[in-house]
């Protein structure tokens, strides 16, 4: 009897607990559309550098791109295997050598509520090519001669010359489509601030016509363009801007009208945590769920952590020591060659990066189209370095500087190069800059040497070479070595316009041969990209060969 009574009490208690644990608050806790795929929540990503600007057309840095790619969709995107896939363009076709036609996705709205149409595509690509904007990424789209609206959901692009890698350029993160509404507001604000009595639409008409009046207006509004789009956004992707605290964080919230599939998070906060150890500690404690910019010194820590994991991937990035060829003595190719031969790349990869990368023979990584494995790069040879320097006006050495940002591994690389060049009696001082000012200061061209990297995000040699070495790209565009070689310019222009793939390949092989010989930069290595994940909290994060973090499939456990 007592046993039956005891079982009755257990059953009663179980029923009471079940009644107190009904599903009346399930939606509040899990979020919409997540009943079978995981618990929703607030995702936090720790990054080393802060966003330079939210304006797609004013910077090409990785941190800004990482945030903006979640706000804006492109016509085309590259998947994790670097293959082109439809995005806002459901189809595209090259109808002749200079003309491309894009069929656009329907039933898509911007965050502020307007409907996505071909007018937004035209407004976006007209803006990035506008001299008043003076875009840092204009080189990606300068070959586009005209964007024509055929209908609400069809647009054509006419290029000034045949340009085979156009789809790859349109998949670049800075090719995101902004609403015409926010572009109109940006121009109108610039016109008003400059005291120009004109509407945005009147300005567009003037731009189409060209002429002296247009040039005068461009000069008037140039310093005012971008004030709206630097702080506000209006895209069609799965996240929209909630807030930005400069130097600290950017908070994005889930776009409820996004039609590209459910997301298992409500907000995503990108926190700036410059110091690597602090990022790792936050990841281990659960203060952040994902950490980007993982350096090799933290890799083993994450791999062996109780709740953490390391996701690593070979990259299409090249890290290099740039030399300003407009400054003495770096205008002497023998000085540059001597410096390149004095650097033991294997030691840097092993000692600074714990073998997370491979030696760079030239500017292109092996996975980039146009890379030629038969080209032989410059390798460590101190005797050859001393011989070359002895033939110059600075045979006894000289004083110089290397500029770096606040990335500890870049600083460590600079220290190694400082020690290596002392064998040539080259006395190097290291000067450190905050990331945003680093890029701006380098663009002014007052430096000697600097350490930086370039990721060929399109996967095509045109992007990996044109921005870094064409004379038209000097400064903020990418050519911070201020390299100027008419033969290289001619080959790069030919590579862009050739329709025969074999001809293009030979053009880029010829360019690489010249660049290996003339060393406007010492090509150091191709690093592996890595992110850290708190596996106890989330899974589903992906890193691609460009280093971009894909969070669309992230789920909370």
Reported as a single tens digit per residue, the pLDDT across 81-105 is 888 999 999 999 999 999 999 999 9
- Give the pLDDT band (50/70/90) at residue 443: very high
- Give the pLDDT band (50/70/90) at residue 390: very high
CB 389 within 8 A of CB 395: yes
CB 337 within 8 A of CB 378: yes
Mean pLDDT of 99-116: 98
The Cα–Cα gap between 366 and 317 comes to: 10
Residue-level pLDDT at 240: 98
Mean pLDDT of 477-496: 95
Question: Euclidean distance between the first and final Cα of the chain, in Å?
Answer: 44
* Cα-only R_g, the chain: 26
pLDDT at 505 over 70: yes
Mean pLDDT of 348-370: 94
pLDDT digits (tens, 9 = 90+) for 191-237: 999 999 999 999 999 999 999 999 999 999 999 999 999 999 999 99
Residue-level pLDDT at 11: 41
Residue-level pLDDT at 406: 86
Residues of the chain with pLDDT > 70: what percent? 93
- Give the pLDDT band (50/70/90) at residue 483: very high
pTM assigned to the model: 0.80
Mean pLDDT of 115-133: 98
Sole residue written with tokens 């990108």: 270
Mean pLDDT of the residues in the chain: 91
Mean pLDDT of 307-318: 94
Domains in the chain, ordered, with CATH? 317-527 (3.10.105.10)
pLDDT at 412 over 60: yes
Mean pLDDT of 113-126: 98
CA angle 456/222/325 to nearest 5° reads 45
Q: Which distant-in-sequence residues (6+ apart) come within 8 Å of 349 by Cβ? A: 355, 356, 357, 358, 359, 525
pLDDT at 5 over 50: no
Tell me the three state secondary structure of residue 479.
Answer: strand
Nearest to 367 by CA among 254, 300, 295, 456: 456
Query: Could you tell me the two tokens for 167?
Result: 């789809």
pLDDT digits (tens, 9 = 90+) for 10-52: 444 443 333 333 333 333 333 333 334 456 789 999 999 899 9
pLDDT at 2 over 90: no
Residue-level pLDDT at 197: 97
């Amino acid at each position: 009897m007592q046993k039956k009574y005891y079982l009755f009490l257990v059953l009663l208690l179980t029923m009471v607990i079940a009644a107190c644990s009904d599903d009346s608050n399930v939606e509040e806790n899990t979020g919409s559309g997540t009943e079978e795929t995981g618990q929703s929540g607030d995702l936090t990503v720790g990054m080393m550098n802060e966003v330079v600007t939210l304006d797609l057309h004013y910077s090409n840095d990785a941190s800004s791109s990482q945030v903006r790619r979640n706000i804006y969709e492109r016509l085309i995107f590259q998947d994790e295997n670097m293959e082109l896939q439809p995005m806002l363009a459901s189809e595209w076709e090259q109808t002749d050598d200079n003309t491309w036609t894009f069929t656009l996705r329907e039933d898509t709205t911007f965050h502020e509520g307007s409907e996505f149409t071909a007018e937004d595509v035209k407004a976006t690509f007209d803006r990035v090519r506008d001299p008043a904007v003076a875009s840092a990424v204009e080189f990606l789209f300068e070959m586009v001669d005209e964007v024509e609206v055929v209908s609400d959901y069809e647009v054509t692009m006419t290029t000034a010359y045949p340009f085979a890698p156009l789809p790859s350029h349109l998949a670049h993160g800075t090719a995101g489509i902004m609403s015409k509404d926010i572009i109109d507001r940006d121009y109108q604000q610039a016109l008003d601030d400059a005291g120009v009595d004109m509407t945005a639409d009147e300005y567009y008409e003037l731009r189409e016509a060209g002429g002296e009046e247009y040039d005068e207006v461009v000069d008037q509004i140039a310093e005012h363009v971008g004030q709206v789009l630097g702080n506000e956004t209006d895209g069609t992707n799965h996240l929209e801007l909630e807030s930005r605290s400069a130097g600290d964080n950017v908070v994005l919230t889930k776009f409820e009208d996004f039609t590209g599939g459910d997301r298992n998070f409500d907000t995503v906060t990108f926190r700036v945590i410059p110091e690597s150890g602090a990022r790792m500690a936050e990841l281990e404690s659960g203060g952040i769920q994902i950490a980007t910019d993982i350096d090799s010194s933290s890799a083993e820590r994450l791999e062996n952590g109780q709740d953490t994991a390391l996701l690593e991937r070979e990259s299409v990035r090249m890290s290099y020591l740039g030399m300003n060829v407009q400054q003495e003595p770096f205008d002497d190719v023998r000085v540059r060659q001597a410096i390149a031969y004095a650097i033991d790349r294997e030691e840097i990869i092993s000692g600074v990066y714990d073998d997370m990368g491979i030696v760079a023979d030239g500017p292109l990584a092996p996975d980039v189209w146009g890379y030629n494995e038969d080209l032989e790069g410059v390798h460590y040879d101190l005797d050859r370095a001393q011989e070359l320097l002895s033939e110059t006006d600075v045979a006894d050495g000289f004083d110089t500087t290397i500029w770096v940002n606040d990335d500890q591994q870049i600083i460590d690389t600079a220290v190694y190069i400082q020690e290596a060049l002392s064998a040539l009696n080259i006395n190097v001082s290291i000067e450190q800059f905050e990331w945003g000012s680093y890029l701006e200061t380098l663009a002014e061209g007052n430096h000697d040497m600097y350490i930086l990297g370039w990721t060929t995000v399109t996967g095509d040699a045109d992007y990996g070479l044109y921005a870094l070495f064409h004379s038209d790209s000097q400064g903020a565009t990418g050519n911070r070595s201020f390299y100027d070689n008419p033969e290289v310019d001619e080959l790069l222009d030919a590579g862009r316009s050739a329709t025969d793939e074999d001809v293009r390949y030979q053009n880029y092989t010829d360019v690489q041969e010249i660049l290996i010989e003339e060393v406007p930069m010492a090509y150091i290595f191709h690093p592996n990209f890595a992110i850290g994940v708190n596996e106890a909290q989330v899974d589903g994060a992906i890193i691609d060969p460009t280093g971009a973090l894909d969070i669309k499939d992230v789920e909370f456990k």
